[in-house]
Amino acid sequence: MTTAYQTIRVRFQEPVCFIQFYRPEDNNTINDLLLTECTQALRQYQDVATVFVLEGLPEVFCFGADFKAATGDGEKLGPEPLYDLWMQLATGPFISVAHVRGKTNAGGIGFVAACDIVIADDSAQFSLSELLFGLLPACVMPFLVRRIGFQKAQYLTLMTRPVSVQQAHAWGLVDAFDSQSDALLRTHLLRLRYLSRQGIQRYKRLMHALYDLSQSRSLAIDANREVFSDRDNLQRIERYVKTGLFPWESEP
C-alpha cells in the first residue's frame, strides 16, 4: 500500500496513519494537489487505520491557501474539495488528530478545527488573516464555531493576529500541549489504540448527527466563491504575492 505523493508524506504504523504536509518551499500552504493527495491518502488507509495523525513541519503546520496558485492561470478545483476533506476528518470512521508545531493560519485552522483531537507544542500559534485581504474564512467557520464557539471564532477572525498555544488551549482549540509534543502525541496514541473500529464508527456517526456540518456546506462555499471572485480582493492578493506588502502598506 505505497503511493508516491508530491505534497504530503504518508507512513502507516498499524493502526495509525501519519499524514505530513510537506511543501517546505511554500510554507506548507494549500493547493489543489495537496487537497487531492490528502483525500487519496484518507481513502487508501481508512479501512486499515483507526487513527489518522496530521502533521506539518517544525516551523509551520499549515499556513492556509497558496496565494500563488489562487492568482495563477488554469482551472481550479474550487472550495468544495477543501470543505469535503475537512468533513471527512470531522465525520469519517476514524479518530483524527492534529499535531501542531509552529504557525497555523487561515485554512490551516480549518484542518485543526476539523480534527477530533489537537495536540500542540509550545511554539504553536494560530491566526485567521483572511479579512486583511478582504477575504473570509468562510469554509473554516462551521468547523471552528463547532469547536470553540461563536464569539471566540469571531474574535479570532476580526483581530487577524496570532494567538499563542496557551490562549488556544484556554479557548478549546487545542486539547493538550507540551514542549515535548512528540512524547505527548505518543501518550495519546497509546490510549487511542485501545478503541475498536466499530466503537469509533458509532461514536462519530452520533456526533455528526448532533452537529451536522453538511448543513453549512453550501453557505460556506458560496461565501468563499464570492470573495475569491472579487476583483479588488484578487488585486490585493496578487500585489502581496509580487511584493510581500499588505494592502495598507505603500511601496517604497
| SS3 label, residue 122 | coil
Count of CB atoms situated within 10 Å of the CB of 207: 14
C-alpha cell at 6: 508530491
List the catalytic residue out of 55, 116, 121, 130.
130
The CA distance from 15 to 45, in Å, is: 10
Quick check: is 222 catalytic? Answer: no
The closest alpha carbon to 160, from 129, 122, 117, belongs to 129
List the catalytic residue out of 66, 75, 122, 251.
66
Quick check: is 226 catalytic? Answer: no
Find residue 160's DSSP bridge partners.
Answer: none
Identify the sign of the CA torsion 162, 91, 52, 169.
Answer: positive
Sequence letter at residue 91 = T
Question: Could you give the residue numbers annotated as active site?
Answer: 66, 130
